[in-house]
Amino acid sequence: MTSGGDAPGMNAAIRSVVRTCAYYDRECVGIYRGYQGLIEADFITLGPRNVKNIINKGGTILKSARSKEFRTKEGREKAYNSLKKEGIDGLVVIGGDGSFTGGVVFNQEYNFPVIGIPGTIDNDIYGTTHTLGYDTALNTTIEAIDKIRDTASSHNRLFFVEVMGRDAGFIALNAGIGAGAEEILIPEEDLGLERMLESLKRSRRKGKLSSIVVVAEGEKTGKSIFELADYVETNMPDYEVRVSVLGHMQRGGSPSCFDRVLACRMGVKAVELLLEGKTNLMVGLINNEIEATDLEKAIKGHHEINRELLRVSDIMSI
């Protein structure tokens, strides 16, 4: 199943799970709409040919959802009954930490084997340096910011660009550096409004005519991106300021080669772990190897941003 916010590479992971099952002569059943489809027994038997031509597709052919019903005991009981009725022996959940939390609770209550594949553009999961979809989202984001740069520079304007990440600044920090942003605001670090203003003023004095500030959705100044823009416009009246919110376009599109290969590797490992009788694990990329991490650890642990990047960003905006 795919669950939570969709991410590019989820289809490639579905394909990998299905084909690995076929390789080991096991039947594979796809579950539509995450845990909600599990509760409603919305299943489809999937063979290798059912997943043709999807490695390059964004979104998820199995659809995704955030199920409120699965948070209740009754919902989980229905889900267990659906699984038993269908003769399913193990579950591969492709999703983020919310989806894994559901998997852990389900495993505790029913001792049902669950393996997680981290799929979210946010990259905010412990136990993997890269989640599925993150690399693609970065590429989509810098492509969009590059386009904004063209118009920003033509009009000598300052652009505030909001990128996704309500709790994590991975996209903002990396896409911000990759797209040459002047300032980057992330949830993990509140550097304060004054600092941003000073940096913009300093750059202006040094002859910069246009600038881009990348802001993660969940940044910590407590101001909306429009309030941030107003604040700068009030304090730098000679600067024309514009706002661009990139939004869900960052979640779509064909997955990058990196995400496709990662999805293939993770899918193989997830099925092999189930076949070895393992449960409550998440597959992840660590030092370029696919490793298993305890699912609870993956949820509770914190994937730290690389602070070196903050320093690099600072130096680049001189």
Cα–Cα distance for residue pair 144/53, rounded to 1 Å: 27
Q: Which of 165, 176, 267, 284 binds ligand F6P (CB under 6 A)?
A: 165
Specify the amino acid at residue 259. D
User: Tokens standing for 178?
Assistant: 């990759």
DSSP 4-69: SS--TTHHHHHHHHHHHHHHTT---EEETTHHHHHHTT-EEE--GGGGTT-TT--S-TT-----SG
Cα–Cα distances in Å, from 96 out to 32, 99, 262, 298? 17, 5, 16, 10
Cα–Cα distance for residue pair 121/65, rounded to 1 Å: 16
Contact 290, 124 (CB under 8 A): no
**Shortest spacing between CB 77 and ligand F6P, in angstroms:** 26
Rank residues 164 and 271 by Cβ distance to ligand F6P and give the closer one. 164
| Binding of residue 96 to ligand F6P (CB under 6 A) | yes
| Binding of residue 175 to ligand F6P (CB under 6 A) | no
**Shortest spacing between CB 119 and ligand F6P, in angstroms:** 10
- Binding range to ligand F6P, per CB under 6 A, among 160-168, 174-182, 286-294, 305-313: 160-168
Rank residues 118 and 165 by Cβ distance to ligand F6P and give the closer one. 165
Per-residue x/- track, 11-50, ligand F6P (CB under 6 A): ----------------------------------------
User: Tokens standing for 208?
Assistant: 């910069």
Any bridge partners for residue 160, and if so which?
A: 213, 243
Of 6, 97, 122, 135, which residue is the catalytic one?
Answer: 122
Q: Which of 122, 135, 162, 182 binds ligand F6P (CB under 6 A)?
A: 122
| Binding of residue 133 to ligand F6P (CB under 6 A) | no
- Binding range to ligand F6P, per CB under 6 A, among 11-19, 34-42, 114-122, 195-203: 114-122
- Taken as a whole, the chain contains a residue count of 318
| Binding of residue 164 to ligand F6P (CB under 6 A) | yes
| Binding of residue 217 to ligand F6P (CB under 6 A) | yes
- Binding range to ligand F6P, per CB under 6 A, among 16-24, 118-126, 197-205, 233-241: 118-126
- What contacts 270, CB < 8 A, 6 or more positions away? 17, 20, 92, 115, 116, 117, 283
Q: Is 42 a catalytic site residue?
A: no
DSSP letter assigned to residue 111: -
Specify the amino acid at residue 230. D
Rank residues 147 and 166 by Cβ distance to ligand F6P and give the closer one. 166
**At residue 184, what are phi and psi to the nearest 5 degrees?**
-135, 125
For residue 118, which of 72, 170, 172 has the smallest C-alpha distance? 170
Rank residues 47 and 247 by Cβ distance to ligand F6P and give the closer one. 247
Which positions lie near ligand F6P, rule CB under 6 A? 5, 96, 120-122, 164-166, 217, 251
| Catalytic annotation, residues | 122
